Amino acid sequence: MLGDWKSTRASFPAASVFRAPLALLLLVGITAITVAGCQLSSERRVPPYLLGKWETDALRYKGLNFEITDNYLIFTTAAGTLNSFAIAGFEKSVRGDTIATVFYGHQNDVEVNVAIFYEPANGGQLRLKNHLDIIWRRVVDT
């Protein structure tokens, strides 16, 4: 019986002809998915020029600051506590100054984000889209 199975298998050479192209196709597919995944994750990373702690001289935000890390957006509250939000995504477009949108959560099924205008002047400064009149400057580590 075992001899019959071997002879039956040997009588179908077409099966081996399809293995090589199928293996190659599978390899190409896995490689394409891996490369696309790497590119997607790199586009979603916060650029280095936005990283750091930011503060302003505006009286309205006296004593307050916020920090952007690779993974979190952290706001200091008036009560002195920290509100930390995981960064879920990032989009960048350039129109004059750099415009970046950091996505950091959901509220009532709506994605929450902050649009940031970056200016390289004075070692880097930010303006938030909802308060363009306020300039945030990077805090220099001491």
The whole-number pLDDT of residue 29 equals 54
Are 57 and 7 part of one and the same domain? no
Domain span at residue 21 reads 2-43
Are 96 and 59 part of one and the same domain? yes
Residues lower than pLDDT 50 in the chain = 1-2, 4-10, 12, 18, 34-42
Are 105 and 126 part of one and the same domain? yes
Pairing of strands 89-95, 97-107: antiparallel
Are 72 and 36 part of one and the same domain? no
Are 71 and 10 part of one and the same domain? no
The whole-number pLDDT of residue 138 equals 92
How many folded domains does the chain comprise?
2
Instruction: Give the predicted TM-score (pTM) of the model.
Output: 0.63
Are 75 and 22 part of one and the same domain? no
For residues 113-123, b (16+ Cβ closer than 10 Å) or e, as one string? bbebbbeeeee
Are 36 and 86 part of one and the same domain? no
The whole-number pLDDT of residue 133 equals 93
DSSP 59: G
